[in-house]
Structure 1
Amino acid sequence: IQVRHYAEPISVRNLGNDIPDAVTDTLLSVSRKNNHLFQRYFTHKAKWLGLPKLRRYDIYAPLLEAEKEYDYNDSVQLVLDSFRDFSPVLADQARRVFVDGHIDAEVRPGKRGGAFCYGVLPGVSPWVLVNFANRARDVATLAHELGHAIHALMAFDHSVLTFHSSLPLAETASTFAEMLLTDRLLKAETDVAVRRDLLAGKIDDAYATVQRQAYFTLFEREAHRMVVENRSADEISAHYQANLAEQFGEAVEVADEFKWEWVSIPHIYHTPFYTYAYSFGQLLVLALYQMYRKEGKAFVPRYLKILSYGGSESPTRILTEAGIDIASPAFWQGGFDVIKGWIDELENLEA
């Protein structure tokens, strides 16, 4: 790092991601200032789960108050309608996956689990695999993977080398597609239990993807400094424990053994500072969605332009040309404001 004149260890990852150091610093700083949102949510979640205080083991426990099933064909139409409400372009691109027979949604013996979207060549409909089991999460997964397909199809005029999006923007279209679906579901759903499950699921995902990943990166920055100083594994673990204490405050009980959790995170060893890309991608989408809420249809062409670049330019240039300043703390705060809105709505449901 010193021989190559990097400012700090994270700068190596930033260069690979085409993200300036200052942007990463801003992202992490804004994340740190919004711990109170998740602490507030975890305090309420303990009450909904009938616990005096949420334990670290329980933070992803589902509320599961509702058992609503979703028909596959109805769900496909619901997702396409959600896209069309935003822009007919999105719906038309997603429909190509079905017209070309490039989706496998059936649950059957011997089929691999999970979900993915595989774009092979520019202009060719990507292949989408999901395992649709009639749950709300399956509908969200369908929207997510179709979002990936849309991103690939929107970049059809680039070469095979540049039509795939870069890592920080890889989840932009997929997560934005989920947001469109969630908004439509929440507007149509009158069952309080179903609404609570939908909102809690989104907040759980936001914690796991934004805050948890940002704090891994904050830990890594300090851990790299400590290694240079020949600090012991116990001292590094003590720092990780302090990292967890800052995240959760008094809202979550963190058992002592969690100070060793960092040892089990493979990214820390194999791909240092990789995890902030998850925070970047999710928070970017939330911030973009906040802009869409404020600007309405005027935002649509800017969003479509972002997707059309694929990976042909750096994330900074792509977003700057769309009129978005990712160096601004206010932009990233817009993403946390969406999360705050979800928490506010959950509290109102309780009232």
Structure 2
Amino acid sequence: MLPTGSKEELDELFASLEKMAADFETTRPLLKASISDEAFLNLVAQQEEMTNKANVLFSYANLLFAADTQDQNALALLARIQQFMAELTNRTMFFSLWWKDLDDTHAEKLMACAGDNRYWLEEMRHFKKYTLTEPEEKIINLKDVTGSNALNTLYDTITNRYTFDLTVNGETKTMTRGELAVYMREADPDIRRQAYQELYRVYGQDAPILGLIYQNLVRDWHNEQLGLRKFVSPIAVRNLANDIPDEAVETLLAAAEKNAVIFQRYFKLKARWLGIQKLRRYDVYAPVAKSDKKYSFDQAVHLVMDAYSAFNPKIAELAERVLAEDHLDSEVRRGKQGGAFCLTALPKLTPWVLQSFQGKAEDVATLAHELGHAVHSMLASKHSILTFHACLPLAETASTFGEMLLVDHLLKNETNESVRRDLLFRQVDDAYATILRQAYFAIFEKEAHEMISAGASVDELCTGYLANLKTQFGDSVEVSDEFKYEWVSIPHIYNVPFYVYAYSFGQLLVLSFYQQYRKEGEAFKPRYLKILETGGSQSPDQILKTAGIDMRQASFWQGGFDVIDGLVSELEKLPA
């Protein structure tokens, strides 16, 4: 269980970790090529136990901070944990350094007896050529506490205190970003415009500061990863962490650029449905039919559970555990971390889900998405803390698949034609948001890292981002100048550089899986569940090969875009 928050309980956790580290430090003399299997497995077990306890501390602090990013006690605890864990890691890193440096013959012998932890050990060795000396690694860990970690906390603290003013029906309302986002999908085009303009007015005011934070995070990334560790490119760092080959990621991004024309065609179609000559960027997610349908939270839960249950009752049962154990925070309130996430502290603990539910169809989809993450974690819970988390691209599998189950369920049961039509258009809207938009974020990140290394200013980065938008939209969408500030409003590019392509990867992968499901029906389900149950205990390449997928082939990625092309073609046949 997570701690309740009492000082005594937290102090006991810190003291327990301190003792574990001290005990582990005494094992350094055992680290020889001739170490016995039993002694080696005991060291791995000690690593696992420390990781479990550290995750409990980190998870508690992160949930406390997410609940209220302005809570000074949460901020202080987070800072204390970051400092403590950096020091703890420094004291125990001798094991990972020895393991990476061990010759292949002895390493293979030890991995052969490691059971479920084999892939964790194998993946650690992938970083051998990028690992520095023990003193250098210790300096980097300590530097990150007051460097990149502190900058990210500062960014989150600044941006999560923002409020936005919007006038609706003559009444000016002050709201959070999540509340404002609802109006970006409003039927009224003027309200959509005002909502976007207000969002980027607020972010734009702080763009020099937020941009400065980003510039320093990028410089830090470049100094460490390219300058010291000698990675070939900034994105290669994330690729290795994901255990995804560089060429597979480049093939994915190239496929996205090639297929931008599908979405450009869709945006022109959508403009005709909306009765306008050309979409503005404010109109990209506009509903094609005016529908004020709202869902209560209970209705949303029932819809998601019914969709999950129709696929497999076990999936629904696992998702229901999150609610039954009160592990879902759906309240809208100021200071709460924006967006949505699922956090799993330990394999055997039911995950926690955060979102700000406001009754819109997209909120129901978000619920399905985050509960999908939770289900993925619970299905993989037989693995250890070291191997149950899937890599980022595969971690989006169950969440995105869950959304598709929900949409199919809604289409089967919705009798209102205008709502059905809007759901069909929303499928392509969401495909744009998850695939093309995220791929172009990654393309911008690559460009931004190069620009900052060459001395680019925040204004130049804004100009570069605006050019990125105009390239992806072509002549199908009019992009207003305030969208040059969009990049400073994307937390992922700050907190987890190059995370974003995981969404593109996951969505295109799920389109492939979903096509298999529609063709095979029941026969597909055991194979899909086995993939989720594998968690992070095998390489992504190995997991996907069992599903007949080669991520290095452009044809695989093209297959996903062909599905979207088919959806657009179907929409083009509908009478306007």
Distance in 1 (alpha carbons) for counterparts of 2:486 and 2:410? 36
Distance in 2 (alpha carbons) for counterparts of 1:25 and 1:167? 16
Q: Which runs of 5+ in 2 are unaligned?
A: 1-225
Equivalent runs, 1:114-153 vs 2, <5 Å? 115-130=340-355, 132-153=357-378
Q: Determine which structure has more spread, i.e. the larger CA radius of gyration.
A: 2
Q: Summarize deviations over 1:74-116 as a string: whole Å, max 9, x none.
A: 5434322322332233233223334x43354775878957644
In structure 2, the residue matched to 1:30 is: 255
Partner of residue 171 from structure 1, selected from 396, 399, 411: 396
In structure 1, the residue matched to 2:315 is: 90
Equivalent runs, 1:299-310 vs 2, <5 Å? 299-310=524-535
Tell which has more relative contact order, 1 or 2 (C-alpha 8 A, sep 6+).
1
Partner of residue 469 from structure 2, selected from 244, 247, 252: 244
Q: CA deviation at 1:163?
A: 1.9
Distance in 2 (alpha carbons) for counterparts of 1:128 and 1:264? 22
SS at match of 1:90: helix
Equivalent runs, 1:254-265 vs 2, <5 Å? 254-255=479-480, 258=483, 262=487
Q: Which amino acid aligns with 1:209?
A: T
- 1:101 matches 2:335: no
- 1:327 matches 2:552: yes
Distance in 1 (alpha carbons) for counterparts of 2:392 and 2:271? 35
In structure 1, the residue matched to 2:414 is: 189
Q: Which moved more, 1:118-127 or 1:258-267?
A: 258-267
Distance in 1 (alpha carbons) for counterparts of 2:573 and 2:383? 47
Distance in 1 (alpha carbons) for counterparts of 2:447 and 2:334? 45
SS at match of 1:350: coil
Q: Which moved more, 1:334-343 or 1:32-41?
A: 334-343
Q: Which moved more, 1:210-219 or 1:74-83?
A: 74-83
Does the 8 Å contact 1:42/1:251 carry over to 2?
A: yes
Q: Summarize deviations over 1:190-209 as a string: whole Å, max 9, x none.
A: 32210122223332222122
Partner of residue 336 from structure 1, selected from 557, 561, 572: 561
Q: Which moved more, 1:89-98 or 1:322-331?
A: 89-98
Partner of residue 18 from structure 1, selected from 243, 251, 263: 243
SS at match of 2:574: helix
Q: CA deviation at 1:250?
A: 1.3
In structure 2, the residue matched to 1:347 is: 572
Say what the alpha-carbon RMSD is for the aligned residues. 3.2
Q: CA deviation at 1:264?
A: 5.7
Equivalent runs, 1:54-69 vs 2, <5 Å? 54-63=279-288, 65-69=290-294
SS at match of 2:424: helix
Distance in 2 (alpha carbons) for counterparts of 1:185 and 1:269? 35
Q: CA deviation at 1:53?
A: 0.9
Does the 8 Å contact 1:192/1:349 carry over to 2?
A: no
Distance in 1 (alpha carbons) for counterparts of 2:485 and 2:321? 47
In structure 2, the residue matched to 1:41 is: 266
Q: Which moved more, 1:321-330 or 1:261-270?
A: 261-270
SS at match of 2:342: strand
Cα–Cα, structure 1 residues 264 and 303, in superposed 2: closer, same or farther, change >3 Å? same
Q: Which amino acid aligns with 2:240?
A: L
Q: Which amino acid aligns with 1:250?
A: D
Q: TM-score, normalised by structure 2?
A: 0.54
Does the 8 Å contact 1:220/1:273 carry over to 2?
A: yes
Does the 8 Å contact 1:148/1:174 carry over to 2?
A: yes
Q: CA deviation at 1:279?
A: 1.5
Does the 8 Å contact 1:287/1:336 carry over to 2?
A: no
Cα–Cα, structure 1 residues 65 and 348, in superposed 2: closer, same or farther, change >3 Å? farther
Distance in 2 (alpha carbons) for counterparts of 1:204 and 1:186? 16
Distance in 2 (alpha carbons) for counterparts of 1:55 and 1:109? 30
In structure 2, the residue matched to 1:204 is: 429
Q: Which moved more, 1:35-44 or 1:309-318?
A: 309-318
SS at match of 1:335: helix
SS at match of 1:303: helix
Q: Which moved more, 1:232-241 or 1:44-53?
A: 232-241
Q: Which amino acid aligns with 2:326?
A: H
Distance in 1 (alpha carbons) for counterparts of 2:456 and 2:321? 56
Does the 8 Å contact 1:102/1:126 carry over to 2?
A: no
Cα–Cα, structure 1 residues 106 and 267, in superposed 2: closer, same or farther, change >3 Å? closer
Q: Which moved more, 1:23-32 or 1:220-229?
A: 220-229
Does the 8 Å contact 1:114/1:130 carry over to 2?
A: yes
Does the 8 Å contact 2:347/2:388 carry over to 1?
A: yes
Partner of residue 520 from structure 2, selected from 271, 276, 295: 295
Q: In percent, how many aligned pairs have the same letter? A: 59
Q: Which amino acid aligns with 1:297?
A: E
Distance in 2 (alpha carbons) for counterparts of 1:219 and 1:108? 31
Q: Which moved more, 1:30-39 or 1:117-126?
A: 117-126
Partner of residue 221 from structure 1, selected from 439, 442, 446: 446
Distance in 2 (alpha carbons) for counterparts of 1:64 and 1:135? 14
Distance in 2 (alpha carbons) for counterparts of 1:109 and 1:231? 37
Q: Which runs of 5+ in 1 are unaligned?
A: none
- The size of the alignment, in residue pairs, is 350
Distance in 1 (alpha carbons) for counterparts of 2:294 and 2:466? 41
Distance in 2 (alpha carbons) for counterparts of 1:114 and 1:241? 23
Q: TM-score, normalised by structure 1?
A: 0.85
Cα–Cα, structure 1 residues 55 and 337, in superposed 2: closer, same or farther, change >3 Å? same
Does the 8 Å contact 1:290/1:335 carry over to 2?
A: no
Q: CA deviation at 1:236?
A: 6.3
Distance in 1 (alpha carbons) for counterparts of 2:266 and 2:497? 30
Cα–Cα, structure 1 residues 344 and 158, in superposed 2: closer, same or farther, change >3 Å? same
Q: Which amino acid aligns with 1:51?
A: I
Cα–Cα, structure 1 residues 105 and 194, in superposed 2: closer, same or farther, change >3 Å? farther
Q: Which amino acid aligns with 1:32?
A: E
Does the 8 Å contact 2:289/2:421 carry over to 1?
A: no
Does the 8 Å contact 1:144/1:174 carry over to 2?
A: yes
